[in-house]
Amino acid sequence: MKMVACATYEGIEAKVVYVESTLTKGLPSFSVVGMASASINEAKERVKSALLSNEFTFPPKRITINLAPSDVKKEGSQFDLSMALLIALDCIEDDLSEWFVFGELGLDGVVKENLQLYPLLLSLANQKVIKKAIVPYASLTKLSNIPNIDFYGVKSLNEAIELLKNSANAMPNIIYKKIEYPSVSVDDELYYFDEEYVEDFLDVKGQEVAKRAALISAAGFHNILLEGSPGCGKSMIAGRLRYILPPLSSDEVLELAKLDALEAKEPLFRPLRSFRAPHHSSTTASVFGGGSYTAKIGEVGLAHRGILFFDELPHFSKSVLEALREPLQDNKIRISRVNTKIEYPSDFLFVSAMNPCPCGNLLHRDKECRCNELEIQRYKNRLSEPFLDRIDLCVVMQHVSLEDKATISSKEMHQRVIEVHKIVKSRGQRTFNAKLNDAEVDKYCTLDEEAEAVLQRAIMQFSLSFRAIKKVQRVSRTIADLDDSVMIEKRHILEALSYRRRG
């Protein structure tokens, strides 16, 4: 029996699959066992054609290919090359079990690129279960961004066969390629950022309170709600937040590229966090992921490490808003189906925007609101208190005026966010201020005597819940970091309290 390794998806992570083959006496046949999908069973014809097109005589034996473990459903065209190699090298005595083999075969034996190889191989690299792999030559450029794997690129089935016949002398094609973007170093680790600001805060005239809140939100990864009349700049600020978010480590850049590949997009390996903005008519399955047999990733998962933006927040269905409470609290999402149960990370910055009433004119200085009290109350009641309790910053937008001026650029704001990121990492925090657990809040969010007294009065006056108290401490920690202050002072607590939602 011969064996090589390959992989398939189990949720959004890779699962190692061992491809085994036996050629025994009997009536000539070719079968694939081990919960193989239709796409893998179709590979039998591609494998036959590829072998016959390259002057191999298809053995007149009973050929059985087993994909182990047999209790995991396998799918994808990446198994083609491994199956063909096992048949072609049946007479070779060398142990091939340490090799991972990926590639789709053309009918003429050409090894084709598969976009799904990148997330598979990145997941295997993160699990530290792979050392060397045979891959399509066309995929080498993308795969060179994955560290700690020796890649051997092949253009055809013949090249792959010759490589394994002389595996002792084979040399990998590429060496790990470093990320070529500006970076800052903190404790010997590099964090990368992009200096291209496609959308700039210079375009936002006035709205000083909202821009200050956006800076705090970006620096600490605090969830933010922007409320104001139509056209006052809510969506403009939300769209520009993406470009001033904290820099990314090399692992996080690769993780974002993996999400791009899962969405069938070409990975760019750019240190720019994702921005997902589903429409308010989106279904629960499209936002959180789902599927009849296997659970597919949704908008919440694709927003990992980036921004999830809900415009017209009250118009989203009640089921979507209430289901969002779990990932906002735990930074992960669980999907259960009869055949599978998966959990994937969803550590995102939640940005939302809403009008003050159904017609949007309740807070307008000149226009008259057309809504009655019942309509306004029904509109606001679509957002439950437990949901709103998970939003750190609530901002009422200011009125738009012709005298409003641009005051700060995205580059200036981004530099301040980067400085805060350096402060946060230097004091030993593993996560952003908004993501600190209760023990970490007690450790890092130290208040001076005046700040402590103000917080105690606020607890009594506003009847703050335990979650709300911790939220105020986390926001004030970010405000103190923006001021380069070691201790949280009275002014920091007061500003954090000013962003509480009222009414």
pLDDT digits (tens, 9 = 90+) for 159-203: 999 998 888 888 888 666 678 899 999 988 999 999 999 999 999
Q: Could you tell me which residues are beta bridge partners of residue 249?
A: 191
- Dig out the tokens for 355 from the structure: 């009008």
Lowest mean pLDDT among 6-15, 182-191, 240-249: 6-15
Do residues 28 and 60 make contact, with C-beta atoms less than 8 angstroms apart? yes
- Dig out the tokens for 293 from the structure: 């047999």
Q: Residue 293: CB partners within 8 Å, gap ≥ 6?
A: 73, 337, 339, 340
Do residues 451 and 490 make contact, with C-beta atoms less than 8 angstroms apart? yes
Asked if the bond preceding 69 is cis, omega within 30° of 0, the reply is yes
Q: Could you tell me which residues are beta bridge partners of residue 30?
A: 63
Question: Average pLDDT of 299-314?
Answer: 95
Q: Is 188 helix (H, G, I), strand (E, B) or coil?
A: coil
Q: What confidence tens digit (pLDDT) does each residue in 202-219 have? A: 999 989 999 999 999 999
Question: Average pLDDT of 5-30?
Answer: 89
Q: What confidence tens digit (pLDDT) does each residue in 410-439 have? A: 999 999 999 999 999 999 999 999 999 999
pLDDT of residue 293: 60
Q: If pLDDT is split at 50, 70 and 90, which confidence band does 503 have?
A: low
- Dig out the tokens for 145 from the structure: 């961004």
Do residues 221 and 246 make contact, with C-beta atoms less than 8 angstroms apart? yes
- What are the C-alpha distances in Å from 497 to residues 32, 395, 452, 488? 64, 12, 13, 13
Kindly tell me if the per-residue pLDDT of 31 is higher than 70: yes
Per-residue burial over 222-231, b if 16 or more Cβ lie within 10 Å, else e, is bbbbbbbbee
The rounded distance, in Å, linking the Cα atoms of 438 and 466 is 10
Beta strands (DSSP E) in 201-330 are: 224-227, 248-249, 275-276, 307-310
Q: Could you tell me which residues are beta bridge partners of residue 396?
A: 227
pLDDT of residue 148: 82
Q: What confidence tens digit (pLDDT) does each residue in 51-75 have? A: 998 888 778 889 999 999 988 889 8
pLDDT of residue 145: 84
Q: Report the candidate in 304, 246, 274 with the shortest Cα–Cα distance to residue 423.
A: 246
pLDDT of residue 339: 66
Residue with tokens 């083999």: 101
Domains, in order of start, for the chain: 2-169 (3.30.230.10), 185-418 (3.40.50.300), 436-503 (1.10.8)
pLDDT of residue 272: 94
- Dig out the tokens for 500 from the structure: 């509480």
- Dig out the tokens for 343 from the structure: 């959990």
pTM, 2 dp = 0.88
Q: Is 181 helix (H, G, I), strand (E, B) or coil?
A: coil
pLDDT of residue 16: 94
The rounded distance, in Å, linking the Cα atoms of 437 and 432 is 10
pLDDT of residue 23: 87
Residue 189 identity (one-letter amino acid): E
- Angle between helix axes 117-127 and 250-262 (nearest 10 degrees) is 140
Residue 360 identity (one-letter amino acid): G
Reading phi first (left if > 0) and then psi (alpha if -120 to 50, else beta), residue 103 is in left
Percent of the chain with pLDDT over 90: 63
Which helix (DSSP H) or strand (DSSP E) does residue 164 occupy?
A: helix 157-165
Kindly tell me if the per-residue pLDDT of 336 is higher than 80: no
Q: Is 66 helix (H, G, I), strand (E, B) or coil?
A: strand
Q: CA quadruple 267, 269, 270, 274: dihedral positive or negative?
A: positive
Q: How far apart are the first and last CA of the chain?
A: 71
pLDDT of residue 204: 92
- Angle between helix axes 449-462 and 466-482 (nearest 10 degrees) is 140
Kindly tell me if the per-residue pLDDT of 292 is higher than 70: no
